[in-house]
Amino acid sequence: MSATLNRIGLARDAYKGAATTLCAGCGHNSITNHLIKAMYELGVEPHMLAKMSGIGCSSKTPAYFVDQAHGFNGVHGRMPALTTGAQVANRKLLMVGVSGDGDTVSIGLGQFMHMMRRNVDCTYIIEDNGTYGLTKGQFSATADVGSVQKRGSVNTYQPIDPCAVALTLGCSFVARSFSGDGKQLVPLIKAAIAHRGTAVLDVISPCVTFNDHDGSTKSYSWVKDHDEQIQDVTFIPFFEEIHVDYEPGTIKEVALHDGSHLVLKKLSEDHDPTDRIGTMRLLEESRERNQLLTGLLYIDETAPDFSTRERLPELPLRDLGEEDLRITREDFAQHMSELA
């Protein structure tokens, strides 16, 4: 059978990358597949995609999807800065960053927060396993209190929850999901891509080698048992008709920058994803109930992204030439005379 092509005429294979070198069963691999699915279905243009990452098992994943795209595997914890610079230099690029909990919440915490503050237009995925996989299983700062390390030691420090931090900063798109839940994650990835601004996706992604045992709160079983989905998420791309037939009141619709829509059908909690303070409360409470709140936590489609705020032209800065950039001879001479 011939592969079915997406709206820009590409087969799913066009969104694949190199073969993974991660452990069999690593949550990161599932996320890679969800990314491939989302981009294939959205019809992302490979050559306009810039895959960014730091250092870690998670940060290797950009090599495993959309081979044709450019990728930049930078240094540990500094992907936000590279992404910010790349984005302002060419705002037409689709920036998709993949990081880890160590990369983002330990060494990279400062950059991560300042990127959100600037609302740099990018999708920022944290493959969150509560451990440093690549350095063989030390606790990361997202490890929960009481979580047990493979070597036996117990974490006694409060975790730093990237979603809570993002909400505090008013990040314009905050979501949490689980590597094992493509049904929820794929539409969220699509929405994050459609969103203009920083879209943070904290995806719990178990490390089967170092942090998938009993006592770990980042194991497949723990997450399955404690996953508390706020909504049922449906993404309707701009190039498709919207037809939703739910009884009124049960759903909430969010229009995204590029004309796509999110349809959120409330499940457990009564939750308004545009109410930041309410969401913070909800998040804290679910944590105290020892539950993992997943879904679209918060979204603000009104916040201008960094390039817009910096009043950059639509034409990428990097495409400007001598005429655009040099002072004219007249102005130059005039300026020189002022210095005399």
Partner 1 sequence: MTPGPTINDLTFQAATVNGSGSQSANLVLTRAIFSMGIPVAPKNVFPSNIEGLPTWYQLRISPRGYQARAGEPDVLVALNPATWTKDLASVRPGGAVVHEQAYSTAGARSDVSYFPVPFAKLAKSRIQSDTLRKQLTNMLYVGVVAGLLGIPFEAIEHGIRRTFQSKPKAWQVNIDAACVGYQHWQDNFADRGIAHVLRPMTGLTDDRVLIEGNQAAALGCVMGGCTVAAWYPITPSSSLCENLITYAERFRVDPETGEKKIAVVQAEDELAALGMAIGAGWTGARAMTSTSGPGISLMGEFTGLAYYAEVPVVIFDIQRIGPSTGLPTRTSQADLGFVYTLSHGDTKHLVLLPGTVEECYEFAQTAFDLADRFQAPVFVLSDLDLGMNLWMTPTFQYPERPFDRGKVLDAGDLARLEGQWGRYRDVDQDGVAYRTLPGTDHPAAGYFTRGSGHDEDARYTEEAEAYARNMDRLARKFETARSAVPAPVVDESAHSTIGLIAFGTTHHAVVEARDLLSERGLPVDYLRVRALPLSSSITEFVRDHERVYVIEQNRDGQMYDLLRLELPAELAGRLRSIRHYDGRPIPAESITRPLLELEEAVPVQ
Contact footprint for ligand TPP (CB under 6 A) = 55-58, 76, 100-103, 127, 129, 131-135, 140
Q: Are 229 and 268 in contact (CB under 8 A)?
A: yes
**Rounded CA gap, 119 and 133, in Å?**
29
Among ligand SF4, its own copies, partner 1, none, partner that 165 touches (CB below 5 to 8 angstroms by kind): its own copies
Candidates 79-87, 103-111, 252-260, 330-338; binding stretch for its own copies (CB under 8 A): 103-111
| Chain center to CA of 229 | 18
| Interacting residues with its own copies between 167 and 206 (CB under 8 A) | 168-170
- By CB under 8 A, residue 107 contacts its own copies: yes
**Rounded CA gap, 65 and 199, in Å?**
19
Burial class (CB in 10 A: 0-12, 13-18, 19+), 267: middle
**Rounded CA gap, 117 and 111, in Å?**
10
Helix (H, G, I), strand (E, B) or coil at 325: helix
| Interacting residues with partner 1 between 2 and 61 (CB under 8 A) | 21-24, 46-48, 50, 55, 57
- By CB under 6 A, residue 26 contacts ligand SF4: yes
Q: Which amino acid is at 44?
A: V
- By CB under 8 A, residue 145 contacts partner 1: no
Candidates 64-72, 172-180, 248-256, 264-272; binding stretch for partner 1 (CB under 8 A): 64-72
The dihedral through the CA atoms of 87, 60, 131, 298 has a sign that is: positive
Among 63, 169, 191, 192, binds partner 1 (CB under 8 A): 63
Residues in touch with Mg ion (CB under 5 A) = 100-102, 129
Helix (H, G, I), strand (E, B) or coil at 117: helix
**Rounded CA gap, 70 and 83, in Å?**
13
The residue whose two tokens read 């796509």 is 260
- By CB under 8 A, residue 187 contacts partner 1: no
Among Mg ion, its own copies, ligand SF4, none, partner that 239 touches (CB below 5 to 8 angstroms by kind): none
Among its own copies, Mg ion, ligand TPP, none, partner that 57 touches (CB below 5 to 8 angstroms by kind): ligand TPP
Q: How far is the CB of 313 from partner 1 (least distance, A)?
A: 4
Q: How far is the CB of 30 from partner 1 (least distance, A)?
A: 16
Q: Are 190 and 237 in contact (CB under 8 A)?
A: yes
Q: Residue 24 is encoded by which pair of tokens?
A: 């069999």
Among 165, 202, 228, CA closest to 27:
202
Nearer to its own copies, 109 or 317 (CB): 109
Among ligand SF4, partner 1, ligand TPP, none, partner that 85 touches (CB below 5 to 8 angstroms by kind): partner 1
Residues near ligand SF4 (CB under 6 A) are 22-23, 26, 28, 57, 129, 133-134, 207-210
